[in-house]
A and B are shown apart, each in its own frame.
Chain A
């Protein structure tokens, strides 16, 4: 079974631009979560989607948004990029949402650099 895939793997943008990152979960998984990882803040939860609905959101500004499609693929968008948005963006999928007892499988991440 194929793992979680994320595209692109690397991305360079300039301040003020916007970016869209994509995540394809493991086949059959309906829950997708997004995380940001920076050297200073470590891993931080962005949002979680289940069956096309955002079920939880972390403490990030409205510039960060996401969506999930009917095939469970998910995208996250960051508008008006700032230098501090440079980070590794990870997505993880799990079989079902609405439960604390599901193992998450992580993708390789998208490394975003904002110049």
Chain B
């Protein structure tokens, strides 16, 4: 079993829909990151969380440390949000472990 699990693996939605991507982890962590990777490979760091909730524009990230779970939400989704979203955790040994990613496709 992977130490960081994401669901769903693939998600197709219509423009305007509310999107939720989930990340569960099985190790103790000091921080959790959400990354966005567009076709062509460029990666952008969206959020870094150690507790609670963060919001940036239409993106919201939450983390529940007790349940070892984080969610990334996208409100009013747009085709430009189409990308791979990757959850990564920094464990107690300070190593970063990545989920396999969620491929999101927003249809116009």
Contacts and interface: CB of A to CB of B under 8 A. Distances in A.
A45 B48 contact: no
Nearest to A90: B43
Which of B33, B43, B45 has the largest count of A CB atoms less than 10 A from its CB? B43
B42 A106 contact: yes
B67 interface: no
Interface in B55-98: 86, 88, 90, 93-98
A43 B95 contact: no
A97 to B, nearest CB: 9
Which size class do A's interface residues fall under?
A: 20 to 34
Contacts of B99: 42
Contact of B45 (A42, A43, A101, A105): A105
Interface in A59-115: 88, 90, 92, 100-106, 108-109, 111
Given A43-B98, A45-B96, A56-B94, A104 B45 contact: yes
A111 B97 CA distance: 21
Interface of B: 30-31, 33, 35, 41-45, 48, 50, 86, 88, 90, 93-101
